Amino acid sequence: MTAVVLATACALVYGTADFLGGLATRRSRVLPVVALSQTAGLALILALLPLLPGALSGQALLWGLGAGLAGAGGLVLFYRALATGVMSVVAPVAAVTSAALPVLFGLATGDRPEPMALAGVALALGAVLLVSQDRSAARGGSFASVLVALAAGAGFGGFFVLLAMAPDGSGLWPLVGARLSSVTLVALIAVTTGRALRPGRGALPVIAAAGMLDMAANVLYLLAQRQGMLSLVAVLVSLYPASTLLLARQVLGERLHPIQITGVACALGAVALIAVA
């Protein structure tokens, strides 16, 4: 039950971070938002290290570095897919892939959830697909953009898998490694493309909040994964788009489409099934 609570809280915090990140991109270019939010997250995890101490080891940092590269690479590919395709195709492909990969990895490496929990996993994957639909976007999209979206989802899923491989006693050190590698990668992209990292006017507080919430969600994921099975924790965490949608509805007054409302209902059902299993 502890893992379910932590994973569900993680999804809520991830969704809030994504909502704030979306607001920030309305005031600033994408690269400064990514770079500065990642830096804010690094500052937070360094401050949290004394509160959740662990053994610093090469393994912890290496798994974290790999996770950070996978996550940052997935983000770059996701934006690339959006540039060449349409959100109504790219978003659900990436979302379901990022959810399915840790589930398959967990089952392949020994996770044996109860039948009711497996039903919850199936319902959750369907929920991710439904809430990621954007009917306001134009239809279409190239096959190449779908392949890039698959690769982006694999990057996001790889982030969860690689973090789960870090030693249990390593505390928050894997997240330090993950954030160091992602900040370095984004900085290299900025240098090689000659793009400035100055945020738009008034965007910095929102960017910092998004980055710190994203890191807080990472901490919740790491704690949840250590308490439960990866195949269940990761799929609960992947329900974060539902909270982003609800925030957009409440704060911005954005209209939810019936298919997305169905997805939110499926997400709640999935949490309930996994919790009682």
Identify the CA nearest to 54 among candidates 159, 216, 221, 176.
Answer: 176
**Residue with token string 């991830």:** 14
pLDDT value of residue 213 = 95
pLDDT value of residue 134 = 66
DSSP 3-16: HHHHHHHHHHHHHH
Cα separation, 250 vs 98, in Å, equals 27
Burial of 75 (0-12, 13-18, 19+ CB in 10 A): buried
Q: Which amino acid is at 169?
A: G
pLDDT value of residue 174 = 95
pLDDT value of residue 82 = 63
Q: Which amino acid is at 106?
A: G
**Number of folded domains in the chain?**
1
Cα separation, 52 vs 168, in Å, equals 12
pLDDT value of residue 209 = 94
Q: What is the pLDDT of residues 96-129, one digit of tens each?
A: 888 889 988 988 988 888 888 889 889 988 888 8
Structure tokens at 252: 């911005």
Residues in the chain with pLDDT < 50?
A: none
pLDDT value of residue 257 = 82
Q: Which domain holds residue 166?
A: 2-276
